[in-house]
Each structure stands twice: as structure tokens, then as C-alpha cells.
A and B are shown apart, each in its own frame.
Chain A
Amino acid sequence: MNTKKALYNYCLRLADNNLIAGQRLAEWCSNGPILEEDLAMTNFALDYLGQAEFHYNYAAELEGKNRSGDEIAFTRSERQYFNCLLLEQPNGDFAQSMMKIFLYSAFAKLLLGALTHSQDERLAALATKGIKEIKYHFRHSSECIIRFGNGTEESQHRSQFALNEIWPYTADLFEMNDTDQALISLGIAVDLNSLHTSWLLSVNEILNAANLSVIHNQHMYKGGYKGNHTEHLGHLLCEMQYLQRAHPGAIW
């Protein structure tokens, strides 16, 4: 794979992760358990969507086919999305959504931290811009998880169930392919293996504080970065792409 194509794919992966995260979080709009948390969730959604926009615009430039960032974001098919499986999972209850942000932001915080040193200046600049937001998501979701774990019997139960449901999608976060191989030696992409230990440490610290435990030896699902998704993604795209697909070429 040539560098430019690899960089385009890499950029799409970052963009798709942000977009799918934003779209799922936006589902909490007027559905939150309390107004403050409704606003917190959609605030996170806005952060991710803002980051997505930057990454899609960069991807559009790299592609050089005169497509806009929006066209790339809204008109591809299921197999052309490179987001991780974890983010496309349905929201479930509030505990599951929070668990998703927690596990993902723990990862994204390390990834963006490393990307601030990328040899690609644009990626480095975007990482610097995004990391403050991600750190806040991590802090907020960590506090929530600890509260749930030490709250009522029901919240304890729900957060343990959430962890059981989401954990099998976490190995996928670290799954590398040709794209990574083409960019790591150039100092553009991050070797995801190098993040795994730190991720486990920071995640376990919070889970311990929340009295939650990971079930080991669960089957781990993988394939998001290669475009091998779960069935949920297609439905999310259907809804998200509706207007772009129904009115091709229209300006909004």
C-alpha cells in the first residue's frame, strides 16, 4: 500500500470513529436520565462530530478527487467504514453507553497522546486539538462508572452487565492491518500494541475503584478497521445517510 493511500485510510479510521461515536451519543438527545446528563452526552457528541469534520476534510484533501468531507462522511457503504466495532454497538441503557465512552476514551486518550508526535503535521495538530476533549470524556465517564459501581444494587448490577457486554469489543481497538504497517515505520501512525499495557492499567484502576470485574476468556470480536462490521452499523448508516442518499447532489 502506498503511503498516501495508507494515510487516507488512517485518516478515515479516525474520522469514522469520531462520527460513529458522535452519532451514537447524539441518540441521547432528549433521552438522558436527567437534564444535566442529557446535555453532557450531547456535548460529547459535539466534540466527536467536530473532530470528525476535521478528519473528513483532511481525508478529502488527501484523496484529491474533489469530494467534500460530507460526501465521504455520508455516502459510503457499510464495508467502506473503518470505525471500531465498540462504537457502533447500540447504546443500551445509560450504564452501557457510559461504559462504551469510558473504554473508548481510555484508548483514544492514549492514541491521540501518541499522535501528537506524528510525523504527519496535520494529524499531530488534530491530535493536540482533540486530546483535551477526550481527557474530559475519560474523566467524566470514569467518575460515572465509579458512582454506578458504588451506588445502589441496581446501578452496580447494570454497570457489571454493561462491562460484560462491551468488553468483547475492546480487542478490536488494538487490531492493526496493512494501513498501520505502512505508516508506523514512517513515524506517522502509532503502534497500537504499544498502547495496550497503559490502556489496561488505566481501565483496571477505575474498574477496581468501581468494584467491577472483567470476565476473562470471553470471545473477542474484531474487524472494524478492515470494514468487517457488526449488523448494527448498517442501520445506523441508513438513518444517518437518509437525506444525502434521497437527494443526491443537493446542498443543505
Chain B
Amino acid sequence: MKTPEERLNHFNACIESEVKIEPKDWMPDEYRKTMIRQLSQHAHSEVIGMQPEGNWVLRAPSLRAKKILLAKIQDEGGHGLYLYSAAETLGISRDEMIEQLHSGKAKYSSIFNYPALTWADIGAIGWLVDGAAIVNQISLQRTSYGPYSRAMVRICKEESFHQRQGYEIMTTMMNGTAEQKEMAQDAMNRWWWPSLMMFGPPDNESAHTKQSMQWKIKRESNDVLRQRFIDKTVDQAHFIGLTVPDKNMKFNESTQQYEISPIDWEEFKQVISGNGPCNHKRLSHHIKVHKQGKWVREAALAFSKNQQKNKATLFTN
């Protein structure tokens, strides 16, 4: 048996030398809590994110588009399942996580509190939202918790498809009719700033960043990741004729980076604290569907119990 001090030293040495922390390893309570919070938040985000995109499945404009969108949403649901399992390795059940989502204790990414108003939003979500997610998730492939790191490796492959498909929608629309171009630009205008906010508050105000960086849960800071996303995305926008909705954005020749205008963090705070356009709708939808499905889950449970009983009587007879 190791003393508490030895255990902590061992944990720190693992972090230090880039050895992944695995479910059976000892870890500080705070590390476990942080990991559960982040994994469940990530899992819930994948699942809640199915709603805005699901909003367009029935109206997708071609069979191909319908199939691609449906497959994408399925991928997201699959990511949700995968991340719920990763969180369960830390000693919390999926039911508990869903309960925490419904009570408001667990969060999901604020980006999904914005509405998907036109078909172009499906393009913008794939391109910008999945695009921002990838930048974050590539960085998380090196996160210190083993199951999370492996989940990210697997998930990133699919996310890059999503981003390409979203960009393809935007490209097609920008090559289309005047109305289609207008829709695409409008979607760009609405999704640009929220997707920049996805990386979280600026480094000097981020509540969790410091400890998470020490534990190597988080590998790069919010601002670094945000800038990386901006630099790759602005060029993509210009390439298909979209305007970035930021009149004062400039390209800095010496740093080779785009410098954007200040982000409206007040909007971010509002959406985080429940006052976004769709906060209530997203959560109440999840709660409603979960309640409606209760009898299905109960039936499955009752059925397997009955089966076991039948087997038992088979043996006693």
C-alpha cells in the first residue's frame, strides 16, 4: 500500500511524463470531478447538438443532402454514447448525468442555444461549429485522461468530414442563386461570433484554465485555440466570397495572424446563464423526450427481468 503522499507523487509524475491516467489509477478528487464535468458536458453537447441540425432533416433539399445530414447527426449521437461511456469509467452513470443535465447542474456547449433558421445554417454549423470543435478536440487528443484522449482521436476523424460537408454546403450556395448567396452570408453573420465564443472566455478570465492546464486536461489556452481557428477559417470564408462580419478585422503581416474586434462577452454570459434564444427549448425538449421514452426503457428492463425469472424456473423445475 502506498501512502497518500506516494500516490499523489505517482500521479504527478505520470502527468509530468505524459503517461495517461487510466480509470483504475488513483487520482485526486478534484481531477476526477473536473474530468467528469468536462466529459459529461462534452457528451451532452453532442446530444443537444442533434436538435438544431435535426430541425432540417425533414426539409433537406436533396436526397444526398438528407442522407449526409442524417449520417452526421448520427455521428454526433455516437460521439455522445462514446463520451458517456468514457465518463462512466470515472464512477458516474449515464442516468445520473442526464439527471444533472435536466436539473441544470451539468452544462452543454452554449453554441447549441442558437437556432438553425435556414438551410444555410446547416452549412454554417458544419463548417464553423464543427470546425471550432475540431481545433479544440485535436488539442484534447493529448489530454491526460486516457479514455478521453482515445475518444478524441476517434471522434476527430469524423469531425473533419463534418466540417468539409458543411463547407461544401456553403460553397454550393455561394455558387447558387442570389437568394442562396444571401442565405449563406446571413448564416455566416449569425454563426461567426458564437463560434468564436465556443473556445470560452479570454485566458485572463477563464475560471478553470489554470488547474486544467497543470493537470494537462487542457493542453492549450482558449485564446491560442481561438486564434488558430480564426486564421484557418477567415481564408476559407474569403475563398468562397463570404464576408467575415467584422469590419475592423485586420491581417497583421508581422505575426501572420488576423486580429479581430473585441468579442461581445456580455452576449456570451447571457447565453451561458440561460438567456440565449433556444436555452429553454433545447433543455425542455430533452426533458420531454426523456419522459415520453420512459415506458420504453421500463419495458426493456421488465422484459429482461422476466426472461431471467423464466430461466430460473426452468432450472428449478
Contacts and interface: CB of A to CB of B under 8 A. Distances in A.
Nearest to A252: B61
Nearest to A24: B58
Interface in B205-262: none
Contacts of A240: 58-59
Contacts of A206: none
Nearest to B306: A150
A191 interface: no
B59 A33 contact: no
A53 B63 contact: yes
B68 to A, nearest CB: 10
B50 A155 contact: no
A30 B293 contact: no
Contacts of A251: 172, 175-176
Interface residues of B, number: 47
B70 A42 contact: yes
Interface stretch (A68-76, A169-177, A215-223): A68-76
A35 B47 contact: yes
Given A42-B70, A252-B172, A70 B299 contact: no
Nearest to B66: A49
A215 B211 CA distance: 66
Interface in A1-40: 19, 22-23, 26-27, 29-39
A26 B58 contact: yes
B115 interface: no
A80 interface: no
Kindly name the residue among B54, B292, B295 whose own CB sees the greatest number of chain A CB atoms within 10 A.
Answer: B295
Nearest to B43: A35
A42 B73 contact: yes
A152 B295 contact: yes
A252 B73 contact: no
A231 interface: no
A26 B53 CA distance: 12
A251 B80 CA distance: 33
B166 interface: no
B108 to A, nearest CB: 13
Given A39-B74, A39-B78, A49-B70, A155 B299 contact: yes
7 contacts: A26-B66, A32-B289, A37-B296, A42-B74, A49-B70, A93-B292, A243-B61
Interface of A: 19, 22-23, 26-27, 29-39, 42-43, 45-46, 49-50, 52-53, 56, 69-70, 73-74, 93-94, 147-148, 150-152, 154-155, 158, 239-240, 242-244, 247, 250-252
Given A29-B73, A37-B296, A252-B172, 7 more contacts: A26-B57, A26-B58, A30-B285, A35-B80, A39-B81, A69-B63, A74-B62
